[in-house]
Chain A
Amino acid sequence: MTDIPVSTSTPATAPNRTYAQMIARRFVSHRMAVAGAVLVVLLCSSALFAQFVAPHDPTTIDTAKRFLPPLASWSYPLGTDDLGRDTLSRLLYGGQVSLMVGIVAMLTTMLTGTLVGLAAGYYGGIIDNLLMRFVDTLLCFPQVFLLLVVAAFVPPTILSISLIIGLTSWMEVSRIVRAQVSTLKEMDFVQASRGFGASNWRIMLVELLPNIAAPVLVAATLKVATAVLMESYISFLGYGVQPPMASWGNMLTNAQGYFDTVPFLAILPGILITFTVMGFNFLGDGLRDAVDARLKIDP
């Protein structure tokens, strides 16, 4: 659908604006996109600087200070959990873990999906057929089932969780990339490059890849959102990030036991997961509208 974005929708009054400036303008005028970007920047910087911002160590146990309520003391602004660990610090460090998993999983997804899509779209024929039938087959499996089975087999570390999430969610990306590449490869600039004797690898990576950067970037943003959701869920079930390391998912598992007495322990991590996922979703949707005016759905 999205071939090279053409500036058909740009008004004639702005002929000298570059493609990037055009996108930036459309993006900034998109309120939800800006809200998403602000959320993402806030969450990323709080995770990045968790070591400096967090008032306590996230794993230090202090049984004398169990279940402190939020806002009761300056030292523990969001209270403490069942082992007297500082909730704010755990949320900050948990965010670090969630975002790290989200980003590494996204990179895995994009790398696999782009390579498969490039190969299938560019070579066509039997390679295309085999790769796409493989994608069709994988898409028959509900992702959560696939994810949990593999996660139960592999010793859980941040890296292994990220890889598992990434390797079970690249299929849609490969379809997007393939569709783009199979139309692009017929265009004159690709033919010209081939005429100059460029190798297949060069054509794929230097000619084709930059031209599909826009939809790939959009997909990447949205994939961070789904990866964060997946991580929180498998950690919640006990197959993801393992205690005592904090993650928003396993903080929820823990909070479930004290639900009726200290509900805020379960409310806070959930809100942060929602904000993170929402931030990346809004950002991705805004980017999609900005890079291709014809795909604009929201008013």
Chain B
Amino acid sequence: MRGDVLSYVVWRIIHSIPLVIGVSIIGFGIMHLAPGGPLAVYTLNPTITVTDIERIRVALGLDQPVHIQYLTWAKSMLTGTWGFTFFGGRPVLEVIVERLPATMILMGTSLALAMLIGTLIGMLGAIRRGSIFDYLSTTGAMLALSFPTFWFGLMAIYIFAIELRWLPSGGMYELGEEGNPWDLLRHLVLPAMVLTLVLVAQWSRYARSSFLDVIQQDYIRTARSKGLSTRAVLFGHAFRNAVIPLVALFGVQLPTLFSGALVAETIFSWPGMGRLFVDALNMKEYPILMGMIMFTALFVVVGNLIADIAIALIDPRVKLG
């Protein structure tokens, strides 16, 4: 690794610390917006008396001043339990992390498919600019971005699960089939299709404008005028430079990816983090909600960090520092 890259990596990591602190303050602040506070859920229960509530309040440290509560909570974030759930008292981080694999399978599959298909569509659209294909793909992308994702999911269930009976309508495995990869694949098709559609629409637009930028540059004209074939110019000269800016977009797309996964998971009962979030929302499980908000935001911070470092490593033109 070049020395300047190493110092850039260190500098970039140090620079994301204020962001992490900011994220934690906003996350904590949001939870304190809750009317009646985190104990509102207990006040609705007739078997719980006022003294019980007071006891829970003290037990959970909710009688402390706000900044003390924040510090206690921040300490529990660093030590790794992330607090405990209201129902069952399990460590929040554990509850979230056990949902991580399901979400990663769904997001990973969709992201890989979307990057592949999106880059191809964008590239073809850029080199055949103004063609019917270009027109159809840009209009199609616009249409796909206008679909309510959850409705698209419902329609997919209606067509492929209810009418045609080709695929299951939700879940991750049939009962008794846990761990069977073929069964997983059958369950993955519909949610991954819905999530991929949204991502492809965005990705193909990014890819198209990135390729357009590159193929209009002088060195491409030089390569062409040397008599190289279109394919050689495209893959030998243009491809790498057009794809590098897309790496940065990976980081930018992460929040959208999480939002999309949440929608897909709720429609298809996919047992991932999005589903956990909506369930926690319905049960007013504030510790899980807070943990989820922090987890996704920190994931985004780290994802952006990795994307930036990756660009510094693969693109010598990037100004470091």
Contacts and interface: CB of A to CB of B under 8 A. Distances in A.
Interface stretch (A7-15, A135-143, A195-203): A135-143
Contacts, number: 135
Nearest to A137: B22
A167 to B, nearest CB: 11
B23 A146 contact: no
A277 B148 contact: yes
B154 A266 contact: yes
B36 to A, nearest CB: 9
Interface stretch (A56-64, A66-74, A118-126, A278-286): A278-286
B33 A145 contact: no
A260 B162 contact: yes
Contact of B154 (A225, A252, A297): A252
A256 B208 CA distance: 37
B28 interface: no
Interface string B251-276: 00011101100110010000000000
Nearest to B290: A149
A299 interface: yes
A213 B217 CA distance: 32
A145 B262 contact: yes
Interface string A22-64: 0000000000100000000000000000000000000000000
B30 A137 contact: no
B135 A299 contact: yes
Nearest to A266: B154
A282 B138 CA distance: 11
A121 B145 CA distance: 31
A133 B22 CA distance: 9
A225 B146 contact: yes
B74 to A, nearest CB: 15
A252 B135 contact: no
A2 to B, nearest CB: 15
A145 B27 CA distance: 11
Contacts of A146: 30, 293
A65 to B, nearest CB: 24
Chain B, interface size: which category? 35 or more
Interface in B156-171: 157-158, 162
Interface residues of A, number: 46
Contacts of B148: 229, 232-233, 270, 273-274, 277
Nearest to B159: A263
Contact of B263 (A225, A233, A263): A233
A206 interface: no
Interface in A115-173: 133-134, 136-146, 148-150, 152-154
A93 interface: no
Contacts of B256: 142
A205 interface: no
Contacts of A299: 129-130, 134-135
Interface string A255-273: 0100110010011011001
B296 A281 contact: no
B86 to A, nearest CB: 15
B93 to A, nearest CB: 17
A298 interface: yes
A147 B297 CA distance: 14
B293 A145 contact: yes
B265 to A, nearest CB: 11
A134 B301 CA distance: 14
A136 B142 contact: no
B151 interface: yes
Contacts of B27: 141
A175 to B, nearest CB: 12
B120 interface: no
B142 A281 contact: yes
A139 B296 CA distance: 11
Interface in B268-321: 277-278, 281, 284, 289, 292-293, 296-298, 300-301
Contacts of A150: 30, 33
Given A137-B23, A232-B148, A256 B255 contact: no
Given A150-B33, A277-B148, A141 B296 contact: yes
Given A229-B148, A252-B154, A270-B151, A141 B263 contact: no
A149 B138 contact: no
B22 A153 contact: no
Interface of A: 32, 133-134, 136-146, 148-150, 152-154, 225, 229, 232-233, 236-237, 239, 252, 256, 259-260, 263, 266-267, 269-270, 273-274, 277-278, 281-282, 285, 297-299
Given A285-B142, A297-B212, 15 more contacts: A136-B22, A140-B23, A141-B255, A142-B255, A145-B292, A152-B284, A153-B33, A229-B148, A239-B281, A266-B155, A274-B143, A277-B148, A297-B138, A298-B138, A299-B130
17 contacts: A139-B255, A141-B26, A142-B258, A143-B259, A145-B262, A145-B296, A149-B281, A150-B33, A225-B146, A232-B148, A274-B143, A274-B151, A277-B148, A281-B142, A282-B142, A297-B138, A299-B129
10 tightest CB-CB pairs across the interface, nearest first?
A: A137-B22, A270-B151, A278-B146, A144-B259, A142-B258, A277-B146, A299-B130, A142-B255, A140-B297, A142-B259
